[in-house]
Amino acid sequence: MTTASNQPSGFSSEELNELFGDYKSFRRIAVGVSGGVDSMALLYLLKQWTEELGASAPELYAFTVNHGLRAEAVTEAAGVRQYCTHLEVPHETLEWIGEKPSSNIQSEARNARHALLRQAAEDHGCAALFLAHHLEDQAETFLTRLARGSGVYGLAGIRRDRELDGFHICRPLLTVSKVRLKALLQAEQVPWFDDPSNEDEQFTRVKFRQAQAELDELGLTATKLSDTARRMARAADAIDVWVDEVAEKSCTFHSAGPVRFDSSCLEYVPDEIGLRLVGRLVRYISGAAYMPRLAKLEGLYDVLKAGEGARAATLGGVRFALSKPHEAAMWFCFREAGRNGMPEVDVKPGDEGIWDARWRFKAAHSAKEFRITSVQKEFCGDFDLGIPANWPKTAFQTAPLIVFADGVSYMPWKKIGHTAADAEVRSRTYGISMVPVSRTF
Report domain extents, the chain.
Answer: 13-225, 254-335, 345-436
Q: Is 37 annotated as a binding residue?
A: yes
User: What is the mean pLDDT of the segment spanning 204-215?
Assistant: 78
CA dist 238 and 90 (Å) reads: 40
Q: Which of 46, 57, 44, 52 is nearest to 20 (CA)?
A: 46
Identify the pLDDT of residue 363: 87
Q: Is 257 annotated as a binding residue?
A: no
Q: Is the pLDDT of residue 223 over 50?
A: yes
Q: Which fold has domain 13-225?
A: Rossmann fold (3.40.50)
The band of 9, judged by pLDDT with boundaries at 50, 70 and 90, is: low
CA dist 332 and 129 (Å) reads: 36
Q: Is 36 annotated as a binding residue?
A: yes
Phi, psi of 129 (to 5 degrees): -115, 125
User: What is the mean pLDDT of the segment spanning 29-55?
Assistant: 96
The band of 4, judged by pLDDT with boundaries at 50, 70 and 90, is: very low
Question: First and final CA of the chain: distance in angstroms?
Answer: 45
Is 233:225 a contact under the CB 8 Å cutoff?
no
Q: Is the pLDDT of residue 152 over 90?
A: yes
CA dist 195 and 159 (Å) reads: 25
Q: Is the pLDDT of residue 334 over 90?
A: yes
Is 4:30 a contact under the CB 8 Å cutoff?
no
Give this prediction's pTM. 0.83
Helix 271-286 with 222-250: angle, nearest 10 deg: 80
User: What is the mean pLDDT of the segment spanning 19-44?
Assistant: 96
Digit-coded pLDDT (tens) for 77-119: 999 999 999 999 999 999 988 777 777 777 788 888 998 999 9
Of 16-25, 161-170, 182-191, 199-208, the poorest mean pLDDT is in: 199-208
Instruction: Please name every residue paired with 404 in a beta bridge, in sequence order, or none if there are none.
Output: 370
The 10 Å Cβ neighbour count of residue 59 is 15
Q: Is 35 annotated as a binding residue?
A: yes
301, with CB counted inside 10 A (0-12, 13-18, 19+), is buried
CA dist 39 and 33 (Å) reads: 5
Instruction: Quote the mean pLDDT of the chain.
Output: 86
Q: Is 151 annotated as a binding residue?
A: no
Digit-coded pLDDT (tens) for 238-297: 999 999 999 999 999 998 899 999 999 999 999 999 999 999 999 999 988 888 999 999
